Structure 1
Amino acid sequence: MNIDYTKNNGLVPAIIQDETTHKVLMLGYMNQEALNKTLETQLVTFFSRTKQRLWTKGEESGHVLKLVSIKLDCDSDTLLIKVTPEGPTCHKGSDTCWNEDNIRDYGFLTTLETIIADRKNNAAEDTSYVASLFAKGINKIAQKVGEEAVEVVIEAKDSNDDLFLNESADLLFHYLILLQAKGFEINDIIKILEQRAVK
């Protein structure tokens, strides 16, 4: 990598990102020596601007950052370093330096799961369709998933893409409800798919 160290007194920002969750964990600074040590040890090492020395993340706490990959940005003056963290990253004990939990986020699907979980947990007071399904129990929820799956199959054989996509959305929605009813989340399914992918 042809890194430009000239813009910040011999240092470049290093953005640290979890390889699995894609959460940004912290921002540090590196010089060439820190980068060399990171590559040599496979543990992320920074140059501390306050201590004026190299420091390997986790050298005291044990919460190291195991190197996965390093990329250089388009201006050659910022690094994106993907890691596998061992424990919390922030020195204050949180997963990230922005006090966020280092968990996977699937965007709207995660938001939808949160809504479904809330309606499950408050089914007694909630009058929504989702709450009514939870009130009817697992058999009714499983039946709805079966019905929606059949409708997807029927529409797949037709040429109406709009109907096919709408039925697919209904199936996914009810499947997320079924997962919650069984005490699981989509992340549990993702983990199984990932395990299968490496076999």
Structure 2
Amino acid sequence: MSSSANKPSNLDSALAHLADVVDQRRDAFKAGNADPKTSYTALLFSKGDDGILKKIGEEATEAVMAAKDARTSKLAPEQQKLLVGEMADLWFHCLIALSQFNLRPEDVIAELDRRLGTSGIEEKAARKAANKD
């Protein structure tokens, strides 16, 4: 399914561009210039924090189910396409949540960069210790 023709030249900039569009639509909704009856993004923002987070849960479940189906079908091309589509839906809805909380994908990438080279087990233990303080 992957090919260099399908890859953006810079993943960070592709996510930043999509986040810019989401932020613009959020701002249009807040200004009363986007109708939840005609704009899916406005509809999501109209549901507030709980509605957005619930949608992420639904999309995450759909992504998990698509991955399970892909695993059992040995990643047939149609299952790969379905899995990628479900992951795209999940990422999109995560961008909506980031925007809702005035965050950007660059914040997530910075956190991933910070964790680079750190054992996941060590990183989780450090977070757990910090939360006890």
TM bucket normalised to smaller: 0.5 to 0.7
Quick one: which of 2, 5, 13 aligns to 1:107?
A: 13
Q: Give the 3 Å change call, closer, same or farther, for CA 157–114 of structure 1 in structure 2.
A: same
4+ runs deviating over 4 angstroms: none
- Distance in structure 2 (CA, Å) of the matches to 1:173 and 1:111: 12
Q: List alignment gaps of at least 5 residues for structure 1.
A: 1-103
> 1:79-117, CA deviations, whole angstroms, 9 ceiling, x for partnerless residues?
xxxxxxxxxxxxxxxxxxxxxxxxx98232211111100
Task: Name the Cα RMSD after superposition.
Answer: 1.7
> 1:170-191, CA deviations, whole angstroms, 9 ceiling, x for partnerless residues?
0000000001111110111111
TM-score scaled by structure 2?
0.67
More RCO (CA 8 Å, sep 6+)? 2
Alignment match, 2:44: 133
Quick one: which of 79, 85, 88 aligns to 1:169?
A: 88
> Hey, which of these two has a bigger chunk of strand by percent?
1
Paired residues in the alignment total: 96
Q: List alignment gaps of at least 5 residues for structure 2.
A: 1-9, 71-78, 119-133
Alignment match, 1:158: 69
If you compute each CA radius of gyration, which structure gives the higher value, 1 or 2?
1
- Distance in structure 2 (CA, Å) of the matches to 1:161 and 1:188: 29
| Residue aligned with 1:107, SS | helix
TM-score scaled by structure 1?
0.46
* One-letter amino acid of the counterpart of residue 111, structure 2: I
Q: Is the 8 A contact 2:66 2:82 kept in 1?
A: yes
TM superposition shift of 1:158: 0.8
Alignment match, 2:22: 116
